[in-house]
Amino acid sequence: MRVLILGGDGYLGWSTAMYFSRRGHEVAVVDNFLRRRMHLERGTDSLTPILSLHERVRVWQSLTGQNMATYIGDLQEWAFVERVFKDFQPETVIHYGEIPSAPYSMIDVHHAVQTHQNNVVGTLHVLFAMRDYAPNAHLVKLGTMGEYGTPNIDIEEGYIEIEHNGRKDTLPFPKQPGSMYHLTKVHDSHNIHFACRIWGLRATDLNQGVVYGIETDETRLDDRLLTRFDYDEAFGTALNRFCVQAVAGIPLTLYGKGNQTRGYLDIRDTLQCVELTTLNPPPAGKMRVFNQFTEQFSVTELAYAVQKAATALGYTVEIAHYENPRIEMEEHYYNAKHTALLDLGLKPHLLSDTLVESMINRVTQFKDRIIEDAIVPRIRWKSGDQMQKVQVVEKLVPSSNGRH
Ligand code: NAD
Ligand code: USQ
Positions marked catalytic: 144, 181, 185
Q: Does some domain include residue 279? A: yes
In a domain, 363, yes or no: no
Q: What's the pLDDT score for residue 49?
A: 97
3-state secondary structure the chain: CEEEEECCCCHHHHHHHHHHHHCCCEEEEEECCHHHHHHHHHCCCCCCCCCCHHHHHHHHHHHHCCCEEEEECCCCCHHHHHHHHHHHCCCEEEECCCCCCHHHHCCCHHHHHHHHHHHHHHHHHHHHHHHHHCCCCEEEEEEEHHHCCCCCCCECCCEEEEEECCEEEEEECCCCCCCHHHHHHHHHHHHHHHHHHHHCCEEEEEEECEEECCCCCCHHHCHHHCCCCCCCCCCCCHHHHHHHHHHHCCCEEEECCCCCEEEEEEHHHHHHHHHHHHHCCCCCCCEEEEEECCEEEEHHHHHHHHHHHHHHCCCCCCEEEECCCCCCCCCCCCCECCCHHHHCCCCCCCHHHHHHHHHHHHHHHCHHHCCHHHCCCCCCCCCCCCCCCCCEEEEECCCCCCCC
In a domain, 78, yes or no: yes
* Residue 397's pLDDT band (cuts 50, 70, 90): low
Instruction: Please name the residues in contact with 329: beta carbons below 8 A apart, sequence gap of 6 or more.
Output: 150, 260
pLDDT tens digits, residue range 239-291? 999 999 999 999 999 999 999 999 999 999 999 999 999 999 999 999 999 99
19 pLDDT band (50/70/90 cuts)?
very high
Q: pLDDT band for position 400 (50/70/90)?
A: very low
Whether 106 is covered by a domain: the verdict is: yes
Task: Identify which of 184, 237, 393 to mutate to test ligand 2's pocket (most ligand atoms within 8 A of the CB).
Answer: 237
Q: Which ligand lies nearest the alpha carbon of 119? A: 1
Q: What percent of the chain has pLDDT over 70?
A: 96
The reply to whether 353 falls in a domain is: no
Asked whether the beta carbons of 377 and 322 are under 8 A apart, the reply is yes
pLDDT in tens, 218-236: 999 999 999 999 999 999 9
**pLDDT per position as a tens digit, 185-195:** 999 999 999 99
CA-212 nearest atom, ligand 1: 40
Domain membership of residue 86 (yes or no) is: yes
Residues of the chain with pLDDT > 90: what percent?
A: 93
Cβ–ligand 1 contact at 265 (below 6 Å): no
Pocket of ligand 2 (CB under 6 A): 100-102, 144-146, 209-210, 237-238, 241, 253-255, 260, 262-263, 299, 326, 328
Q: Residue 335: inside a domain, yes or no? A: no
Atom 29 of ligand 1: nearest residue by CA position? 96
Residue 327 falls inside a structural domain: no
Torsion of CA 47, 51, 54, 56, to 10 degrees: -90
User: What average pLDDT does the segment 57-79 reach?
Assistant: 98
Write out the residue range of the structural domain in which residue 153 sits: 2-215+264-294
- Span 298-326, pLDDT tens digits: 999 999 999 999 999 999 999 999 999 99
- Rounded CA separation 278/142 (Å): 13
Residue 402's pLDDT is what?
44
Residue 396: pLDDT above 90?
no
Is 109 a residue whose pLDDT tops 70? yes
pLDDT at 401: 47
Give the pLDDT confidence score for residue 388 in this predicted structure. 65
C-beta 95 within 6 A of ligand 1: no
> What total number of domains does the chain contain?
1
Q: For residue 33, give the CATH number of its domain.
A: 3.40.50.720
Residue 45, ligand 1, Cβ within 6 A: no
Q: What is the pLDDT of residues 319-377, one digit of tens each?
A: 999 999 999 999 999 999 999 999 999 999 999 999 988 899 999 999 999 999 999 89
